[in-house]
Amino acid sequence: MFDHDVLIIGAGLAGMRAALSARQNGVDVAVVSKVHPVRSHSNAAQGGINAALQDRGDDWRDHAYDTIKGSDYLGDQDAIEIMCREAGEEVITMENFGVIFNRDEEGRLGTRAFGGQRQARTFFVADFTGQALLHVLYEQIMRAGVRVYEEWFILSLIVEDGRCAGAVLMEIRSGDIHVVRAKAVIMAAGGIGRVFEPSTNALICTGDGMSLAYQAGAE
């Protein structure tokens, strides 16, 4: 059995960014992934990251409005507000970590126009933004000392008194079963694209995390 303060299910961009943030706050963090982290489906994200930087006359409120409108007003507006407030700072943080974003003729971070945005606010790395971010974040979590259970598959979540307290995992290579306990569990296991046919999603996008969370009582 293994014990950690925080267990994160999934090692794509969301999972690794959460792991790094938690680790920077001084807690013992572990990430579990059924593939090597840099083979996560975030690898397929090409377009870029929308963010409003004030040095180019943009405002996070405009970004939030475009995002809410683009969701047909179905998006969680509180979550969208937080995302748009923090997106600009996060782009700068990623650049400081080592992500080599494209630049314009003046040497500033380059942007391009993407769907649903009234202003060019998409920061990008050629046509492999997701891949570039994945490699840099993997380097950062390794440097920070995050434990990675690579090629381990989640079988079930451990729920005690209505609270998630860890997970039962299978080490794919050996078939061994392990219990990993944690004070907090973050689910960042990706989407369910492969339930549809045809799909351009990777074969790993089978919705395991959503299914297990639902079975454990998540809403």
pLDDT tens for each residue of 104-115? 999 999 999 988
Do 155 and 169 form a contact (C-beta atoms < 8 A)? yes
- Is 143 strand, coil or helix? helix
Residue 184 lies in a domain: yes
From 99, 127, 155, the end of a domain falls on: 127
At 35, the amino acid letter reads V
In total, how many domains does the chain have?
Answer: 2
Residue 42 has pLDDT above 90, yes or no: yes
Q: Which residues pair with 117 in a beta bridge?
A: none
pTM above 0.85, yes or no: yes
The confidence score (pLDDT) of residue 56 equals 83
Query: Is residue 168 domain-shared with residue 96, that is, in the same domain?
Result: no
Query: Is residue 62 domain-shared with residue 37, that is, in the same domain?
Result: no
Its domain, for residue 52, covers: 47-127
Closest by CA to 92, choosing from 64, 63, 126, 53, is: 53
Query: Is residue 10 domain-shared with residue 116, that is, in the same domain?
Result: no
Mean pLDDT of 178-182: 98
Alpha helices in the chain (DSSP H): 13-24, 60-70, 77-97, 129-144, 208-215
Query: Is residue 54 domain-shared with residue 9, that is, in the same domain?
Result: no
Residue 179 has, within 13 A of its CA and on its CB side, a CA count of 6
The confidence score (pLDDT) of residue 219 equals 82
